Structure 1
Amino acid sequence: MFSRIARANQMIIRNHVRNMATHGEHAHTPNPDFWKKVFFFVSCPAIVLAGINTYLLEMEHYHHYHRPEFVPYEHLRIRTRRFPWGDGNHSLFHNPSTNPLPEGWEEDASH
């Protein structure tokens, strides 16, 4: 009696797994056209709108920017050796309007 019930359960499980496998193959076919449309009509406009928003916000901050007064802290801008390029005091990607030297700002605050 018990073996008959176990065999019946095994057949039910096998049939269920077989039906799921055949049904799953046909239900989830890849659709590259859908993802191409999502990319062009959703992602690209979202990236462009985010770029425009960022640009407008940064321009608003740029007009209100005031360079801070230089304070010669001893732990900042330490030069134990000269840099191997230029005059040895400017870093490789030095920007005179945002990066002060150990002595202070290079140019006036005409931002």
Structure 2
Amino acid sequence: MSFVLNNAIRRQIGVIAARNMSGTAAVAGEHSGGYKVWKRLSFFVAMPAVGLCMLNAYLKHQEEHDHPRPEFVKYEYLRRREKRFPWGEGNKSLFHNPHVNALPDGYEH
């Protein structure tokens, strides 16, 4: 008896849920062209924004590239080597750039 009653209750809940869901956008199809909006936003907003960011980064790099590097001042608390690096000669960091990064004794060039 309870098995039949449980099935009847489940069917009624399913019918009520189906009635409530029939008004949602996913079932009714009211917003079926939503992908077109995102496609247009991607091409006409996102792509130009990425291009402007790239242009800004390039211009800032060019502006910084024209300036000479600062004069080396040997401070005792900077560029300390308590322990050798485990690669190369042990004095240069992993991403060492000889034009920008100074060694404890000064620039390489």
- TM-score, normalization by structure 1: 0.66
Percentage of identical aligned residues? 47
* Superposition deviation, residue 27 in structure 1: 9.1
Quote the Cα distance in structure 1 between the aligned partners of 2:90 and 2:97. 15
* Superposition deviation, residue 49 in structure 1: 2.1
**1:86-108 alpha-carbon deviations (Å, 9 max, x no partner):** 1111111111111111111111x
Give the 5 Å matches for 1:61-80: 61-63=64-66, 65-80=67-82
- TM-score, normalization by structure 2: 0.67
- In structure 1, stretches of 5+ residues that fail to align are 1-20
* Superposition deviation, residue 28 in structure 1: 6.5
* Superposition deviation, residue 51 in structure 1: 1.1
Quote the Cα distance in structure 2 between the aligned partners of 1:76 and 1:28. 64
Residue 93 of structure 2 corresponds to 91
Residue 51 of structure 1 corresponds to 54
Q: How many residues align?
A: 87
**1:10-39 alpha-carbon deviations (Å, 9 max, x no partner):** xxxxxxxxxxx94x6469636111101110
| Runs of 4+ residues deviating >3 angstroms | 24-28
Residue 103 of structure 1 corresponds to 105
- In structure 2, stretches of 5+ residues that fail to align are 1-21
Residue 36 of structure 1 corresponds to 39
1:55 alignment partner, SS class: helix
